[in-house]
């Protein structure tokens, strides 16, 4: 895939909840028992969500690049 190629990713939804001990977050459909936390502030919990989202984009982008490189190699081999 060319470096200038457009890549777009839809990212997961998260739920944030304030409990007695602090802020917790998890995926939208996860049971509350699987939520991560506690975090002291909204800033801390949203930073953790941002880190999770960054990892997700990086993982998907690596997979897309690997898939395109493999496809490109197969196309080159087929035309040789």
Average pLDDT of the residues of the chain = 88
Q: What is the pLDDT of residues 35-49, one digit of tens each?
A: 999 999 999 999 999
Given this model, what pLDDT does residue 1 score?
46
How far CA 73 is from CA of 41, 55, 59, 63, in Å, comes to 49, 27, 21, 15
pLDDT in tens, the chain (80 residues): 456 678 889 998 999 999 999 999 999 999 999 999 999 999 999 999 999 999 999 999 999 888 877 766 666 666 66
CA dist 69 and 44 (Å) reads 38
Q: Which single residue is written with the structure tokens 């998890």? A: 26
CA dist 61 and 9 (Å) reads 9
For the chain, the domains span 14-79
Phi, psi at 39, each rounded to 5°: -120, 145
């Amino acid at each position: 895939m060319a470096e200038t190629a457009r890549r777009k990713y839809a990212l997961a939804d998260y739920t944030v909840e304030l409990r007695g001990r602090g802020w917790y977050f998890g995926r939208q459909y996860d049971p509350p028992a699987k939520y991560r936390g506690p975090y002291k502030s909204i800033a801390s919990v949203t930073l953790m969500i941002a880190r999770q989202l960054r990892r997700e984009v990086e993982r998907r982008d690596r997979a897309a690049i690997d898939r395109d490189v493999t496809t490109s190699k197969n196309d080159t081999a087929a035309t040789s």
